[in-house]
Each structure stands twice: as structure tokens, then as C-alpha cells.
Amino acid sequence: MLRSETATSHTRRAAALTGLRRYQQAPRVPPRDAGHVIARQGRVSLRDHGGSGRPVLVVPSLINPPAVLDLSEDRSLLRWLAAAGCRVLMVDWGAPHPDERDSDIDAHVTEALVPLIKSLDAPPVLVGYCLGGTLAIAAATLTPVAGVALLATPWRFGAYADARDGVARLWHAAEPSCAALGLVPVEVLQAGFWQLDPARTIDKYARLATADAPTLAQFTLLEDWANAGAPLTLAAGRQLFERFYAADEPGHGSWRIGGRLIDPAALGCPVLDIASATDRIVPVASRAAAGTQRTVAAGHVGMIVGSGARAAVWEPLADWISALRAPT
């Protein structure tokens, strides 16, 4: 039995290495147009992705680049919403400088996101993806918006309790170097994601060993996105690791900005909360569970760009947006 298990392990490792080589050698496509900048707050910009009608401001995560929201011609939530009758804008967080080491998550909300919202002619609908949704909840607490849609958004960080020891060890090891840099490199964050399901990283490359060309091309596009991204400021990374993950904040009700309690259940606007029952990055148990709730089975990235994303997420999101009343 042991010999059989060893042979299986060697076979799996060999397949994973083959898949990794195929990924490394795969051709790359040119990046897509990032959209015209219409406003800026320091390094953070607001990009116009076209369309007309109700303003919809998409807030991506601080961790990964926003490219997954406009991945390709046929897998672009941004362009689809623009064609569906929305004026689509998106926050581009940019790359922080070490001099911004003291800019925490709260500051990203108060000094960038809220001023950009206020620069618009009318209160927008906020659509937050992943950690971007967490920031969107805070922004909607501090300034009027027409609605908040949360896509795979973590709020109840107690759902990560099983991973807390590993995350704490990771941060303990990385924090001195991050403090010296003034930044938290994306590699530190990726290591945290890998700890949530280490076997999955090996398995996905093992499957790539025998994948056909279209599958390899799609994998490469997504993997390049997942491996890219700007660093976090030191204070933002510290707040994420030491307060959110370590103490179940903001979900247990102690996150305040300027004395205002940040609570999705208390927002004075409609809320749509779409979560995936198969999401490993943001488990469904971590959702805000506020407003109208919809649960899909598409995975963290699949709910944005998967083959079933349009029916499961895009269309219900557009229907919800179109049904909103104009704010008074």
C-alpha cells in the first residue's frame, strides 16, 4: 500500500511539474485597455469603461489587479454591464509607494474611495468584488450611494478560524521584512491563499499537464492575473492580518471609521449579497448576509469569468441594478 501511494505521489508531482512548464512556456496575449481615467485621488484613479445610464462604480480587491473583471472579449463583466444599460466606472488602486506605509484600509476608504464617489454627478451603485466589497460597505456607510452589490465579499472573518494559526505564523515570519519595506508584497498574500488549500495548487498544475490548447490559454490568462498585483501598504496588510483575520473584524461589530460603525445590515440603501457555496477563498460562511442574498456554485473566480457566470451572477446583478429606485 505504501509503495502504491509513493508511486501515485511521484506521478502527481511529475504531472504538476509538466503542467508548470506548460504554463511558463505558454504564449501571452497583450493586456486589454484599462479604461480612460476621469478622476484621481493620489495614486488611486477612477476609470471609465463605457456605457450610459445609471452610474455603476466597481470596486475591485486591494490584493489582485482588476483585470479579472475585464478578462477577455467574451468574459468581461464590465463591458457586459455597459452593454446592459449602465455607465460603468472602476476603481484602480494603483501601486503604493513605501512612503504610504501608514495608509491603512480605513484610509483607502476615506481618502480615496469616498472622495471618488463624491466626485460623480449622482450617487452610484457600488459593486464590490472580494475585499473590494468590504471597502464598499464602509464607503456606503460614510457617503450616500444608490445601492451596494457584494460579490464574493468577506465580512464574517470568523469563517477563517481553522486557518488562523497558519495565517498568524505567516504574518509573524513576514512582518519584519514588510516593516522594512513599508509594503506587503503580493507573494506574502499569495502564500496566505495557498495555505487555505495547499493540495489544490498542486492538483491544478497536474491537470494542466494534459489540458488542451484552449484550456491552457484560459488557465494562463487567469493564473497570470492571480500572480500579479501591486503590494499592500504596510498598515493595510497589518490591519488585514492582525485585526480582520485575527479578531473576526469587521464581522463582529467593532470596525469604526471616524466614530461610525461599519455594518452592512445598517446601510441606508439596498444591498445585494452574492456568494458562492464552492468558494475556497471567501467561504460562503464569511458573507455579510445582508439585504437580498443569492448563493451560486461557481467558485471565487468562476462567478466572475466562468462559463456559468453570466446566468448565475451577471444577469441577476443587472436585473437588481435596473430595479433600483433613483436615490432621493
Average pLDDT rounded to a whole number, residues 256-273: 96
Number of Cβ within a 10 Å radius of residue 228: 11
For residue 115, is the peptide bond before it cis, meaning its omega torsion is within 30 degrees of 0?
A: no
pLDDT in tens, 135-194: 999 999 999 999 999 999 999 999 988 888 888 899 999 999 999 999 999 889 887 776
Give the DSSP letter string of 20-86.
HHHHHHS--PPPPP--EEEEEETTEEEEE----SEEEEEE--SSS-GGGGG-BTTB-HHHHHHHTTE
Instruction: Give 228's pLDDT tier (boundaries 50, 70, 90).
Output: confident
CATH number of 32-323: 3.40.50.1820
Nearest to 305 by CA among 73, 103, 82: 73
* pLDDT for 1: 44
Residue 30's pLDDT band (cuts 50, 70, 90): confident
Give the pTM. Answer: 0.91
Set of cell numbers at residue 242: 492582525
Separation CA 199–CA 274 (nearest Å): 27
Q: Which residues are within 8 A (CB) of 281 and not within 5 positions of it... i.e. 6 or more apart?
A: 130, 152, 193, 196, 300
The chain-wide mean pLDDT, for the chain, equals 92
Which comes out higher in pLDDT, residue 119 or 203?
119
The domains of the chain are located at: 32-323
- Beta-strand ranges (E) seen in the chain are 36-41, 44-48, 54-59, 86-92, 125-129, 147-151, 183-184, 232-233, 256-257, 260-261, 271-276, 292-296
